Structure 1
C-alpha cells in the first residue's frame, strides 16, 4: 500500500513537471496545458489532447502557471511575473519575489510571454498573393502581391505596407506599379494616438509616375479587440508628384485615413477595408482617393483565401489617374 502511494505521488510529480499550467473554470472543470497568451477576452491554452483551445475569459475562476509571463492591466504597461498562483474566485496571484500580488481577473487586459528585447512586442500581419491568367482573344497575365504588418509594444504601434502589381496584355505591359508605406503611432490614451507616416508610390505606365507623401496628425482607435478593429486618422501632408512629361507638383494637403477589420463566423472570415481621401490646400480642383475592401477566409490557422477590390483616383494639374483592380488569391498570416 505504501509503495503504491509512492508510485502515485511520483507519477503526480512527473505529470506536474510536464503540464505546467492549470485553468479552473467557473463550472468546476479544470484544464491543464500551457498558457500561450490572453487577449481580447480569449485565453489560448495549448494542450496535448485538444491542441490550442480558446477559453472565454469571463468563464475562468482562477489559474496557475510556473512560466514567466507578462501581465498587462492596461494596454500601455505591464508587470513581469515569475509565476502565477491560483487565488479566490475571479482572482489570481502574481508571484514576483517576496511580494506576491493578488489581482482581479477583470483587471487583466493581456497575458503574453515576454520577448528577449522588447518584452511586450506583439507581431501580426498578412502576405497575400494573386495570380490571374486569361487565354482568349486577348491574353492577360496579372500578378499582385500585398504585404501588411503591424508591431505593437507599450504606447507604440508600427504599421508597414508594401504592394506590387504587374499586368500583361498580349505580352505588352499595361500595369506596372509598386508602393510602400510606414506609419508610427504613439498612444497617449487607449484610444487617442499621434501618427507620423511616409508613403512612396511608383508607376511606370500611368501619367502620374511618382508620389511621395510625408504626413503627421492625430488618430482615434474606436475599438481593437477579438472581433476586429477600427481607427481613423487625420493628417497634414506634404506631397510631391512627378508626371511622365517631367512636370512636378509639390503641395500641402489634408487627408483622412481609415483602417477597419471585422471577424465573422467564429473568426474564420475577415472583412477588411483601408483607405485615404485627401485634398490639397491650394487647389480646389485636385483630390486623391485610394481605398481597398475585401474578404479573407481562413483555411488553416495560418493560410487564407482572399478577394479584394482596390480603387485609386488622382486628379492633378498635369494628369489624372483612375485605376480599379480586382484580385483573388492565397495568403499567409501571423
Structure 2
C-alpha cells in the first residue's frame, strides 16, 4: 500500500508543471520561463520553447517570479527579494517576509541572481584558442591563446586579459611573446569612470623584448548590457621599453582606448573590437597601435568558434619599429 502511494506521488510530481517565472507584456502577451537578468533596459528570460528571449523593459506590464532575486533601484545598492509578485500595471511587488513592497518598474535599474559573497557581482569572460598546422615545403606550427574576463560590483569593475603567441617554422621559433593586462575602474556616475591600468609585454624574438606601461585617466561607458557593451577611455601612460641588447627607453604618452562588442542573430554571433592608439609626448615614436577585431559564433551556450585579426604597430622609432598583422581562427569558451 505504501509503495503504491509513493508511486502515485512520484507520477503526480513528474506530471506537474515546473514552477516558472511569468512576464506580462503591455500588448497582452504572456511569457513563461526563467528570468536570468535585467540590465541596460533589457530583460532576459530563458524559455523552453524559444531559448533566451530578450524583452524591452518598457514593454513589460508586470512580472512574477519564485526565485530569490537582487533588485537594484540605483546603480550601487539593491534589495534582496525572496520572490516577485505581479502587481498593477507598471509595478511589481517585492515579497520579503512580512514587509512586501510595491515599486514602479521604471525605478528598477537591474535584476540579477544574488551571488554568495558579493551579491551584485556580474562576472563574464572568454577564452579563445587557435591552432594552425601547415605541412608543405615549409612546416609551420602556430599557437595562440587569449583570455579576457571582467567582474563588476557596485561602483567597481575589474578587468584582466592576456595572450600567448608561439610560432615555429621548420622547427625554428619565429614568434614567441605574451602579454598581460589588468585594469580597475571606479564609476563616478552611471557612465563616467576613472581607470587605472598595468600592462606587461614580453617578446623573446623581436628586438623590443619588454614593454611595461602604467596608465590612468577618465572613461565613458556608453552602454553595457546583455546585447553588448561600448566604452572609451583616455589615458596618460608611462611606458618603459627594454631591448634585447640591454638598452632601455622610457617616455610618457597620451592614449585613447576602446572596447566594443555587439551580439547579433539572437546572441548567436558576437562582433568585437578593442585596442589602444597612443602618441608619445617626446620624440621616441610617431604613434603606437595595438588592436584586434573579430567574430565569435556560439555553437552552444558556452562553446564558440572565433575568427580574429590583430594589428600591432610602433611607428617612427628607430630601435622599436614594429608592424605585425595576425589572422587566427579557433575555438573557445564563454561565460
Q: TM-score by structure 1 length?
A: 0.89
Aligned 8 A contact 1:34 1:47 in 2: yes
Q: Which residue of 2 aligns with 1:71?
A: 71
Superposed counterparts of 1:282-321, under 5 Å = 282-283=282-283, 285-315=285-315, 316-321=317-322
1:158-212 CA-partner distances (Å, limit 9, x unpaired): 1111100000111110000000000000101111000001000000000000001
How far apart, CA to CA, are the structure 2 residues paired with 1:262 and 1:114? 26
1:153 match? 153
Matches within 5 A, 1:91-110: 91-110=91-110
Secondary structure at 1:58's aligned position in 2? helix
CA separation of 1:266/1:111 partners in 2, compared to 1, >3 Å: closer, same or farther?
A: same
5+ residue gaps, structure 1 = 1-10
Question: What is the alpha-carbon distance in structure 1 between the residues aligned to residue 18 and residue 309 of structure 2?
Answer: 49
| CA distances 1:49-98 after superposition (whole Å, capped 9, x unpaired) | 66554444333321222332111223333222232221101210123354
Alpha carbons of structure 1 residues 63 and 322: separation in structure 2 relative to 1, 3 Å: same
Q: What are the within-5 Å matches in structure 2 for residues 19-34 of structure 1?
A: 19=19, 21-34=21-34
Q: Tell me the distance in 2 between the aligned counterparts of 1:90 and 1:171.
A: 67
The alignment's C-alpha RMSD in Å is 2.5
Task: Classify 1:227/1:113 alpha carbon distance in 2 versus 1 (closer, same or farther; 3 Å).
Answer: closer
Separation in 1 of the partners of 2:180 and 2:95?
45
Runs of 4+ with >6 A deviation: 11-17
Q: Which stretch of the first structure deviates more once superposed, 254-263 or 139-148?
A: 254-263
Q: TM-score, normalised by structure 2?
A: 0.89
Q: Distance in 1 between matches of 2:38 and 2:124?
A: 15
1:102-143 deviations in whole A, cap 9, x for unaligned? 222222222111111110001111111111111111111110
Alignment length (residue pairs): 324
Contact 2:134 2:140 in 1 (8 A): yes
CA distance in 2, matches of 1:84, 1:134: 57
Partner of 2:5: none
Structure 1 range deviating more: 53-62 or 166-175 = 53-62
Report the CA distance between 1:14 and its aligned residue. 11
Aligned twin of 1:125: 125
User: Are residue 174 (structure 1) and residue 168 (structure 2) matched?
Assistant: no
